[in-house]
Structure formats: structure tokens, C-alpha cells
Chains A and B, each alone.
Chain A
């Protein structure tokens, strides 16, 4: 298999992805300013903050859409470490094992639900098909690999309750199902980190509860770390182990949900209070608590 970058720093055992002093400038605009945080193994990490705080920019840097202006993104997979800013687009998934979804749905609408999950297993299948030649000739090795891929895809369809719609075009599914299918598709790439950009956006409360259950099962059963951007606090507070808060491109808080919920800076950021008034808000909270 591919080897990691030899000059990547060694991470502590429990840290899967370390973001260090990540800065992203677009011309004169500093979208993300010296942000550092860790994503730990087996945890759900939430990235929150008001609109325009730079959350999606952080995602875009992690998944290779942007090359960071400054900063280091290290991912540890097995005993190999990768510097994400050096990987090419498709290597982010293939070598580092990062999967991602977007705010808007980006399924392959013209393909069937099952095919969407098979596309995500492209790398192993392509290898088994010997660059297509053996695949066309239906060699046994390829047939076996393809059966395994279909089994895996069906397993995921069972888990998200879409097995009956396997052969329908993905675009025909209702919105909530499309959201879950996207997560299943991302999981079919065998990731170590699953990055979800607002997975609960536009979901009704019951779909939102389903999503929570799905993410919990991904953490527990698949052992995959989840990094999610979310505005729906019921999702964030309920399922995340660790919350990172950004505001105007800076990290303002990093800790457990309980800690973040009480943090005056976070409250101020969400309510839109000026910096000078933060202390006042802080006092008010203390008063209310006592």
C-alpha cells in the first residue's frame, strides 16, 4: 500500500486528524485565521459557529479543495501519517481515508441508488478489474470483488432503510433519504474520518433523530471518527463528544458540549455581541446560574 509522508509529525495515539495554525486568505479576506484543533479517534467532533465563521473553508482545506495559505493538516491512518495539503484531490479519499458530504446534495442523480454506492468503491474495484480489461472479460477475481462491493452497498442500504429503492435513480428519492444516501456513499469509501457539512439541514425532527442514530452507529460500529458542521444545536449537543467553535475565522472555544454551551464568548458570538460587551454577558450568565 501507499506509504505516508516521512516528514509528517507523529501524532499522539488518540489523535486522528490534527489541524495546526490553519490560515486561509482570499485576497485581503482572512477566512480562517490560525485555527488549531484535533479530531480524536472514535469521537464525533462538531465544528460550529455563526454564518461566515469559516467552517466550510476549514472543510475545504481538509478535503483538498483549497490549499491552505499557512498551516499543517496531519492525518494518522494505521501507522502512517499524511500531510493532507500535499495530497491530490482523489488521494484525499484513497490514501488518507477522508470522506465528505456537502451542504447541498451532490449525489449522482442519473445513476441508481446502488450505483452511487458502487462508484464510491471505485478504487478497489478498478484494481480488481485490472484496469477494466479483466472486468470486461469477467474474470473470476473481478466478479468476486464486484460481488463483495454489491454486498457492502446492500448492507448500507439496509442500514439506511433504502434497500427497496436500490435500482431507482438517486434523484427520485425524497430529500431526507438523499441525505442519508450521501452519508452511506461516503462510508462506502472506507474512510477513517467522515466530514459532514450540515447533514441535518432541511430535515424534519424525525429525520433529524434518524440522522443522530445513524451517526452514533457509525461511531460505535464502524469506529469512524465524524467531523461535522452543524447549525442544528439539538444534533450538536446530543451526539457530539467534542465541539470546536469558530467566529470570524478564529477559534473561540474548544471543548465538551457542556463547556461550550456555557462559554460566554460562544454565546456572545451567536447573539452578535461586541467584544467589549462579552464581560457583561459573562456576568449575566453567572448571575442567572447563582
Chain B
């Protein structure tokens, strides 16, 4: 029982990170109808930027952990958002209106470019970060001597994710920008005829997705204590899976999908074998898609007349 509880905690933490990345996939898909394959690498860039910001701040003498963390969060979000904006501007906007596969190919190209750029600039080796937030928020010893613990890092991850997801859902539901995004999602031409700057709305969508991915990058860094140039690929594919599982285009779907993938992976590693955790996650994806092709919360594709 204690073992189960511990795995649940770990799964929710991992799932939060996937969920944050998945939102970026799902939003971009919703509004432009393309899969931004470079998004996982934007997440990786976010992790690196967070690490660099952390080291810079420590060197400058900012040692109070909460202050430093808040600053790192803001800096990483800002700079990664800039990356997201640039990627859209350079690789996708010029291809808008071209055939459907063109931006997909340039997305893959962008992904490879980001990976290699970081590899060249930062070196191929794993970059460690010493534990920044040590200690446990809560722990209790069960009957069998097994300790269930929620670490402070896990609390930070889950709490930040929750806050961001609520803020983000409000933004989409209540603000003019969110309305514009939903309008562009349904009918871009009509939206522009109502005075909505579609290009800018799409840019802002990429900016928001990238900012959330950078938060995920920071959380990943805090949780695992390492980043390398390749983490974006696996995490990106997982988050993409989460978005598809939840129903691509649906925000709550991305969050739920992320949680599910995190939980599946953790429980599979805990009870079966860690080597096959990816197989488990993707097998479940396949099964879900066979029976629910539009994902858990996705709307079935309706033919436009």
C-alpha cells in the first residue's frame, strides 16, 4: 500500500511535467493544425536556460532559494518564449498557406537544429545541478518500514503546474486573447475579417506554449538534477502522446493525458519492468486510439460543409 502511494506521488509529478509540455502541442495543433515537433526541444532549451539562469544568479550572489527560483522561472519563461516566437517566425510562418506537410518537415528540421545547436554550445555531456530544494514536505513510515515521502521538489512541481494550468485555462476562457485563439481555431479567415490579427495570435500561442515548456524544463531540472541536449526528444514524444491520448486540440485533454502517461509509466516501472515503461505507455496509446480515435476528450472531426 505504501509502495503504491509512493508510486502515485511520483507518477503525478512526472505527469505534471508531461502535461505542461503537452499543452504546447495541443494549442498549436488546435490553432494552426500542425504538430510542432520542435516543441520537445524548446522544452530542452527551457531546461538549459533555467540551469544557466540559476548558475548566473548564484554567481551574482542571489542565494535565497525561493527568490532565486522565482527569478529563474521568470527568466527561463521569458527567454524560452523568445525561442518559441523565433521558431514560429522563421520556420512556420513563411510556410503558412503552403501544403500541409511543409511546416511539419520544417518542424523536424527545427528540432534537429535546436538539438545540435545546444549540443555544440553546451557540450554533449550531461549537465548536473546540485539539489536545490532538499528535504521532504511530508513523510510517514508504514507498517513494513517503507517510508512514503513527498519531497519539497514534488510539491513545488505539482503546485506550480496546478497554478499555471488554472491561470492558463482562465486566460483561454476569459480574455480577449483566449477568445481570439478559439476563434482562430474554428475559422481563421472569419477571425481576420472581424479584425483579429491572426498572425499575431498564432505567434502568441507559440510564445505561451514555449513559456509553459520552459517551466516544465525547470521542473525537470529540479526533479532529476540533470539536463542534456537529448532530453527534449523523449519528453517531447511522451508529451505528444499525452496530447493525442487526451484528444489533440483539447486543453483539459492535454492535462489529463499528461497525468495518465506519467502514471502509466511510473506504475509500469514499479510493478513490471522499467525497461519496458515506454512500451507500456505507447501500447496503451494504441489501444485508446483504436477504440477512441479522437482521444479521451477530443471532438470527433466533423466534415466542414
Contact = CB atoms under 8 A, between A and B. Distances in A.
A135 B186 CA distance: 23
Interface of B is mostly: helix
Query: How many residues of B sit at the interface, in one of the four size bands?
Result: 20 to 34
A124 to B, nearest CB: 9
B171 interface: yes
Interface stretch (B142-150, B174-182, B211-219, B227-235): B174-182
Given A110-B182, A136-B167, A119 B196 contact: yes
A118 B179 contact: yes
B193 A129 contact: no
Given A111-B182, A119-B183, 5 more contacts: A122-B180, A122-B195, A123-B196, A185-B194, A189-B195
Interface of B: 167, 170-171, 174-177, 179-180, 182-183, 186-187, 189-198, 204, 305
A108 B182 contact: yes
A90 B196 contact: yes
A39 interface: no
A119 B191 contact: yes
A122 B194 contact: yes
Interface in A106-126: 106, 108-111, 115, 118-120, 122-123, 125-126
Nearest to B183: A119
| Residue among A92, A100, A102, A106 with most chain B CB within 10 A | A106
A45 interface: no
Given A92-B193, A109-B186, A189-B195, A129 B175 contact: yes
A89 B193 contact: yes
Contacts of A126: 176-177, 180
B187 A106 contact: yes
Nearest to A95: B195
A104 B305 CA distance: 9
B179 A94 contact: no
Interface in A74-97: 89-90, 92-94
A119 B191 CA distance: 8
Nearest to A94: B195
A132 interface: yes
Contact of A119 (B167, B180, B189, B305): B180
B182 A120 contact: no
A159 to B, nearest CB: 19
9 contacts: A90-B196, A99-B193, A99-B194, A108-B190, A110-B186, A129-B175, A131-B177, A136-B171, A186-B194
B179 A136 contact: no
B186 A122 contact: no
A240 interface: no
